[in-house]
Amino acid sequence: MIDGSKYLRNNIKNLPPSGIRRFFDLASHMEGVISLGVGEPDFVTPWHIREACFYSLEKGYTMYTANAGMIELREEIAKYMYRWQNLVYNPETEILVTVGVSEAIDLAFRVLLEDGDEVLIPEPSYVSYVPGTIMAGGTPVMLDTREEDEFRLTRDELARKITPRSKLLLLTYPNNPTGGIMRREDLMDLVDLIVANDLIVISDEIYGELTYDGKHVSIATLPGMKERTVVMNGFSKAFAMTGWRIGYACGNRDIIGAMNKLHQYTILCAPIMGQMAALEALKHGEAEMRRMVEDYDYRRRLILKGLKDIGLPSFEPRGAFYVFPSISVTGMSSLEFSEQLLKEEKVAVVPGNAFGKSGEGFVRICYAYSVDHIEKALERMGDFIARHHV
Ligand SMILES: Cc1ncc(COP(=O)(O)O)c(C=O)c1O
C-alpha cells in the first residue's frame, strides 16, 4: 500500500486534530460515562419542523435550489434579521444560505485572506477558526480574554494586537467555550479601532438567541459597522437542528457575492431538505425556540449553583450553553483534570486548553443535557473535587 500521507500538503499534515474530538474518542470507549462535553442541544428538532420536511419530500422537493439558497428562505432570513436585530439585508444580494455556519466561516476566510493576512481571534476560541485561517493562508493572531473581564474582548487587547497586516476580526458572542457575552457598550468600545484600521468583522452569532440577561446585540447594528461585518448564524443551536446543516451569512454584497461564487463551485447549494425545515423554523418556530432557551436557563442556574456547592465556582455565563469554571483549586492542568475526572468518575468535560492557551486552568462544561444527567454528573464531580482539593 502506498504511503498516502506523503502526498498531503504540509499545512494539512501539520494541523493537529481537534482537542475536543480526541477527548471524546477516549470517552466513547468507556462504559457508563456521563458526558457534559458535546456542544449540542439535547432537544430533538421540534416536530412541526420535521413534519415540514416530510411534506416537502412527499411533494417531490428533492432537487438543487438556487446556489445562494431558496429565495423564500432568504426572504424569511431577511425578515428575521429585521425583527430580531433591526438589520436590513437584501435577500437577493446580501444573504447566502450555507451548510452550517461552519461553511460560512470557511468561505469568508477563503474569499478574504491573502497569504499572511492576519486574523484577530479572541481566545479561548471555538476550535475551527485557527485551522480555517491557516488553511486559507492567513495568520491567526490570538487576543487574550480573561475571567476577571468575564471573557469579554477589551479595547486595550485589540489595540495591542492590531498590525498593518490585520485584516479580519473574528467575534463569537455569546461565546463558545466561555458563555461570555459582549454588551452593546463593550462592542461600542471597539468600533473606532475597527473602522480606523479598516478591519472586516466576521461575527459568528450562532448562539445569539441563547442569552439569559437581555437580548443579544449584533455588532452590525452599531454605527458604521453593518457594511464591514459579515454576520453568521444558523439553525443548529437555537432551533436544535445540528444535523440539518443549515446556516447563513449576511453582509456586504461584494463579500457575500464572492462567498456565493466559491460556494457554487464547491457545494453548489445547501441541501433542500434542510432548507425546507429551516423555512418552517423561521416561520413558526420562535415560540418553541424560546421555550428551549428558558429550559437552558433553568439548567444554567442549576449547574452554576451545583458547581459553587462542590467548590468549583464559575463566573456567570450569560449566553450559549456552556460554563467555564476555573479548576485552580485542584492544582491540576486542564488536561490532567479532564483525564482524571474521566478515569475516576466517568464524567467527560472538555479541557480548556483545547480552546487555546488562555483556556488553560479551566474546563468547558456543556449544560444542554437533562436535569437528571446534570445532577448525576455534579454528584460525581463533587466526590472528585473533595478528593483533589489542594
Ligand atoms: C461558535 C460556533 N460556531 C459555529 C459552530 C458550527 O455551527 P454549524 O452547526 O452551523 O456549522 C459551532 C458548533 O459548535 C460553534 O460553537
Residue 239 contacts residue 33 (beta carbons within 8 Å): no
pLDDT at 205: 98
Please tell me whether residues 276 and 291 are part of one structural domain.
no
Please tell me whether residues 56 and 41 are part of one structural domain.
no
Please tell me whether residues 54 and 154 are part of one structural domain.
yes
289-327 in b/e form (b: 16+ CB < 10 A) is beebeebbbebbeebbebbeebebebbebbbbbbbbbbb
Closest Cα to residue 91, out of 106, 80, 107?
80
* DSSP string over 177-218: TT-----HHHHHHHHHHHHHTTPEEEEE-TTTT-BSSS----
Give the ligand 1 atom nearest the CA of 172. Answer: 1
Share of the chain above pLDDT 90, in %: 91
State if residue 39 touches ligand 1 by the CB under 6 angstroms criterion: yes
111 pLDDT tier (thresholds 50, 70, 90)? very high
Peptide bond into 177 cis (omega under 30): yes
Please tell me whether residues 137 and 255 are part of one structural domain.
yes
Residue 119 contacts residue 168 (beta carbons within 8 Å): yes
Please tell me whether residues 243 and 364 are part of one structural domain.
no
Instruction: Quickly tell me which residue has 431538505 as its cell.
Output: 273
Provide the CATH number for the domain around residue 189.
3.40.640.10
Domain limit, last residue, from 262, 284, 306? 284
Give the ligand 1 atom nearest the CA of 175. Answer: 1
- The domain tally of the chain equals 2
Please tell me whether residues 41 and 59 are part of one structural domain.
no
Mean local confidence (pLDDT), 138-165: 97
Residue 272 contacts residue 56 (beta carbons within 8 Å): yes
Please tell me whether residues 41 and 52 are part of one structural domain.
no
Report pLDDT digits (tens) over 208-234: 999 999 999 999 999 999 999 999 999
Please tell me whether residues 257 and 295 are part of one structural domain.
no
Domain range for residue 262? 47-284
pLDDT of 322 > 90? The answer is yes
Mean local confidence (pLDDT), 198-210: 98
Report pLDDT digits (tens) over 250-297: 999 999 999 999 999 999 999 999 999 999 999 999 999 999 999 999
Query: Whole-angstrom distance between the N-terminal and C-terminal Cα of the chain?
Result: 52
In which region does residue 116 sit, left (phi positive, over 0), alpha (psi from -120 to 50) or beta (all else)? left
State if residue 101 touches ligand 1 by the CB under 6 angstroms criterion: yes
82 pLDDT tier (thresholds 50, 70, 90)? very high
Provide the CATH number for the domain around residue 13.
3.90.1150.10
This prediction has a pTM of: 0.96
Residue 333 contacts residue 295 (beta carbons within 8 Å): no
Domain limit, last residue, from 236, 251, 284? 284
Mean local confidence (pLDDT), 131-139: 96
| Separation CA 28–CA 348 (nearest Å) | 10
pLDDT of 29 > 90? The answer is no
| Separation CA 335–CA 354 (nearest Å) | 9
State if residue 126 touches ligand 1 by the CB under 6 angstroms criterion: yes
Report the separation in Å between the CA atom of 33 and the middle of ligand 1, taken as the mean of its atom positions. Answer: 24
State if residue 36 touches ligand 1 by the CB under 6 angstroms criterion: no
Please tell me whether residues 9 and 99 are part of one structural domain.
no
| Separation CA 153–CA 180 (nearest Å) | 10
Q: Which three cell numbers stand for residue 216?
A: 443579544
pLDDT of 77 > 80? The answer is yes
Report pLDDT digits (tens) over 337-348: 999 999 999 999
Please tell me whether residues 320 and 265 are part of one structural domain.
no
Please tell me whether residues 62 and 190 are part of one structural domain.
yes
Please tell me whether residues 239 and 337 are part of one structural domain.
no
173 pLDDT tier (thresholds 50, 70, 90)? very high
Mean local confidence (pLDDT), 190-211: 98
pLDDT of 114 > 90? The answer is yes
Residue of minimum CA distance from atom 13 in ligand 1: 39
Mean local confidence (pLDDT), 175-185: 97
Domain limit, last residue, from 267, 284, 301? 284
